Structure 1
């Protein structure tokens, strides 16, 4: 990763993944208008704000602006207290993605991040790889059940993440993807980080199991309690 810093802004980016962008244009890659001018917008998705899909050389990227959720988010939409560049949410997520990628966990490749400071607060953006031909487990399981081998692979991927010391504080089945080759991916590491010890790991797994149970009632996904056993076996190795 390379870094560009000014008094009120820091940008981290991987030049190998932004080969079509001149260095003088790096600050513009977080603006949707820049990609519109280059006819590189391939789509978008609505969530907590809009995620824009960008066509880069050889891959697609997802560009999102950090926004608050909940009641407080209605008052302060996208500002966070500044405690140092390394403590910004985008820098922390970028770092976690780098750690996990180096550990061999299937996560989106981090491409670039930006934090812009204004007084005591900052705003942030992140660009990461968009996994092609992938659906989250909710959409997959609404359509059909999956076999025990895939559940084992999910458990194995979570174990690799835990062995890298990363606590995914929002591990749920919306944040686990399956691509066309049935490869398992884990996404959305906002507010996540490395953590010592082991006592938090069961909390991750319990949260994931509650997510399966919730979506059985909410979306009628095709899942049953016995499907948890191969996932645990994959996790336990």
Structure 2
């Protein structure tokens, strides 16, 4: 057990898997209340921030939880699906979430991560997090055609979250509109970053690395949101100003490079739009 996890988590076995679980959830995990994640049944599907794999909503130790099995993307997904070598992948997400929490970056609390041996060196992984109240990702928020003041609030929260994420040294591996999820709780709204899989920490996130993360988010926005809700140039400048703060040099660098990147998306935009029209609707990023 890593030292930074020891005060809050314990190692425990269930009938199906080996787990790192929060102390208050350990007994329920040991009884197998999350083992269905490895058994093929995924429960009620939910969409907000779900990324590649299906998600399950259930109660764990009396609290609403979201469970998800790890799933490779791209070519690896077609070759290996849910199979990973060793047990480290799930633990790395837990360590990342704990470090971000200490840095004040909102991300759903991880209740448990588990690994089940498939065969040989290959394992399957699952992660269980706290369910966010009223969760809606950026794609879903854009679907309601929010008014200008509401868009400004969302842009400010998004820029603030990404700045804190990068200032904490974290580079998200798949920064897209489905992995930024708004929670509406009793204390107000909080934007969370989800799906920390394959993310990595740096001592300092360079301007080039910030740019790479932001271009990935820009591409996701252009693909899934801009066709039905395009931000005005002033709104885009507002987002960038909120992100960079008083760093004018960073602002100039990002504005120039993001503009250049967007100019290269012309053919992709056309392909995305034609693909959507051929389906008779604008597909969502999780479909």
- Using the size of structure 1 for normalisation, the TM-score is 0.81
Count of matched residue pairs: 221
Mapped pair 1:14 → 2:22:
yes
1:184 pairs with one of 169, 188, 191: 191
Higher strand share: 1
Match in the other structure for 2:283: none
Q: Deviation of residue 170 (structure 1)?
A: 1.0
Aligned partner of residue 12 in structure 2, secondary structure: strand
Higher Cα radius of gyration = 2
Match in the other structure for 1:156: 160
Q: Deviation of residue 96 (structure 1)?
A: 0.8
Q: Deviation of residue 29 (structure 1)?
A: 3.2
* Structure 2, unaligned runs of 5 or more: 1-8, 246-287
Distance 2:182 2:89 in 1: 26
Superposed CA deviations along residues 66-124 of structure 1, whole A, max 9, x for unmatched, are 12233442332211122xx4xx2211111111111121111100110112333222211
Distance 1:33 1:187 in 2: 18
Q: Deviation of residue 9 (structure 1)?
A: 5.9
Aligned partner of residue 57 in structure 2, secondary structure: strand
Match in the other structure for 1:221: 229
RMSD: 2.8
Distance 1:121 1:213 in 2: 37
Match in the other structure for 2:68: 64
Aligned partner of residue 183 in structure 1, secondary structure: strand
Distance 1:15 1:223, change over 3 A: same
Higher relative contact order (CA 8 A, sep 6+): 1
Superposed CA deviations along residues 24-71 of structure 1, whole A, max 9, x for unmatched, are 42xx2332289xxxxxx9832376443111123563211111122334
Superposed CA deviations along residues 134-161 of structure 1, whole A, max 9, x for unmatched, are 2111111121133323312211111111
Aligned partner of residue 104 in structure 2, secondary structure: coil
